[in-house]
Amino acid sequence: MSDVRRIDPNVVAGLIMSVLCGVLAVPVALEQAAGAASPLGPPWLWWVAYAAFLVALVVGGWLDEVVGVTATRALLALMVVAAAALVLIGAPFGWLPIFLVVTAAISTYHLPGRVTAAIVVVNVGVAAVATLIAGDSVQVAAVTGAIYLLLQSASVLLLVTLHREEASRRRLAAAHAELAAAGAALAETSRTQERLRISRELHDLVGHQLTALALELEIATHTGADPGGHVARARTLAGDLLTDVRTTVGQLRGRAPDLAATLERIAGQLPRPVVHVYVADGVAADEERTLAVVRCVQEILTNAIRHCDADTVWIDLSPVPGGGLRLSARDDGRGPAADVVPGNGLRGLAERAEAFGGSVDWGPAAPRGFVVTAVLP
């Protein structure tokens, strides 16, 4: 399986916006140095607002998972205020309203749609007022507001579409994981039913005939019909054949499914995340435990897709001293929140393990991600 990771469009968009915000300050510095133009009021005030904007952009935009939702929204509010200050104080620089477009675009990641719409409206007013401060007419200010209304609306709608497409992709991947697990479980059930059918046929047909043969030979031995010992040897042979058939039937009924191959099939059918499966030597599972492991892996992959946005998942199966197996799964996703509330998936894992007298533990992985460990005695 390939380890090539898909480049996240959100990361690309974030890099472009960050670079753009850094580039916008360069012409301001050059024109200030040349004396061609200068912000309104003390020049240092514009640079203080710019520094506040960059800090809010980096911390709230790139470290939002670290600082949490509340801090991220506070930093976004700081971005809105700082962007407005940059545009109003820097009214002589006509390209600065691009900061407003960036702010509206970033708000789509962390705020409801109605709040983003309010930010767009406020930014349109800021752009129009900055045009008036620069000495342009009302008509020019109206056109400027309309232009930035369209620019903000286009960027917001594009990112909303990107978010929806990403959510659809996650739902599709989760459904694919569930379908792959269901297919693997159905395949194992079909093979088990076929083995049981073959064992019944062997037992009912060949076993019955061999039993009748042994009975006939036993009668012939007692009647003295074969003084040369051929009947005795035939009786022994028939008994051995009957024993072999019974042994074969027992093996067919008790043969454990190939757990490693089953999990590899599930992993190989997922486009994302990349799943690495390792099954240690000595791991053995009957049909019931194989089905339980398959369902547990299904829940783990579904959680990694829906809630963690993981790119890679590692699944390890190892034997437990005294019998049984240990399932350990780790991903490189966002990781859990500070207070993990078990959903249906995690509760389902616990219930499956408890059905075999086992247990399930979960929590954050280091340096990031989520780890689940299940023990099936």
More confident residue, 341 or 353: 353
pLDDT tier for residue 3 given thresholds of 50, 70 and 90: very low
CATH class held by domain 173-376:
alpha beta
User: Rounded to the nearest 5°, which phi and psi values hold at 276?
Assistant: -105, 125
Check whether the bond before 367 is cis (ω within 30° of 0): yes
Location of each CATH 3.30.565.10 domain in the chain:
173-376
Closest CA to 82 of 135, 134, 24, 131: 24
pLDDT at 178 over 50: yes
For residue range 314-340, what is the model confidence (pLDDT) as tens digits?
A: 999 888 887 788 888 888 877 665 555
Q: What is d(CA 301, CA 102) in angstroms, rounded to the nearest whole number?
A: 34
pLDDT value at residue 77 = 92
Q: What is d(CA 147, CA 136) in angstroms, rounded to the nearest whole number?
A: 15
Residue 40 near residue 89, CB atoms below 8 Å: yes
pLDDT at 373 over 80: yes
Which pair of structure tokens corresponds to residue 295?
């369902």
In this structure, how many other beta carbons lie within 10 angstroms of the beta carbon of residue 254?
11
pLDDT tier for residue 37 given thresholds of 50, 70 and 90: confident
What DSSP state is assigned to residue 92?
A: T
Q: Facing residues of 313 across strands?
A: 275, 331
pLDDT value at residue 125 = 93
For residue range 103-140, what is the model confidence (pLDDT) as tens digits?
A: 998 888 888 889 999 999 999 999 999 999 988 899 99
pLDDT value at residue 321 = 81
pLDDT at 295 over 50: yes
Mean pLDDT of 260-288: 78
Q: What angle do CA 343, 352, 377 make, to 5 degrees?
A: 135
pLDDT at 188 over 60: yes
pLDDT at 243 over 60: yes
pLDDT tier for residue 183 given thresholds of 50, 70 and 90: low
Alpha helices in the chain (DSSP H): 9-34, 43-62, 64-67, 69-89, 98-110, 113-133, 138-201, 208-223, 230-254, 259-268, 287-306, 344-355
Question: Looking at this protein, which amino acid is placed at residue 81?
Answer: V
pLDDT value at residue 15 = 81
pLDDT tier for residue 375 given thresholds of 50, 70 and 90: confident
More confident residue, 229 or 84: 84
% of residues, the chain, pLDDT over 70: 72
Q: What is d(CA 171, CA 183) in angstroms, rounded to the nearest whole number?
A: 18
Q: What is d(CA 106, CA 111) in angstroms, rounded to the nearest whole number?
A: 9
Question: Looking at this protein, which amino acid is placed at residue 273?
Answer: P
pLDDT at 294 over 60: yes
What integer best gives the mean pLDDT of the chain?
A: 78
pLDDT value at residue 217 = 66
Out of 142-146, 269-273, 367-371, which region has the weakest mean confidence (pLDDT)? 269-273
More confident residue, 133 or 237: 133
pLDDT tier for residue 146 given thresholds of 50, 70 and 90: very high
pLDDT value at residue 103 = 92
pLDDT value at residue 118 = 94
- Residues 150-159: contacts with CB under 8 Å, at least 24 apart: 151/101, 152/100, 152/101, 152/104, 152/105, 152/120, 152/123, 152/124, 153/120, 155/101, 155/104, 155/105, 156/104, 156/105, 156/107, 156/108, 156/116, 156/120, 159/13, 159/105, 159/108, 159/109
In this structure, how many other beta carbons lie within 10 angstroms of the beta carbon of residue 157?
11
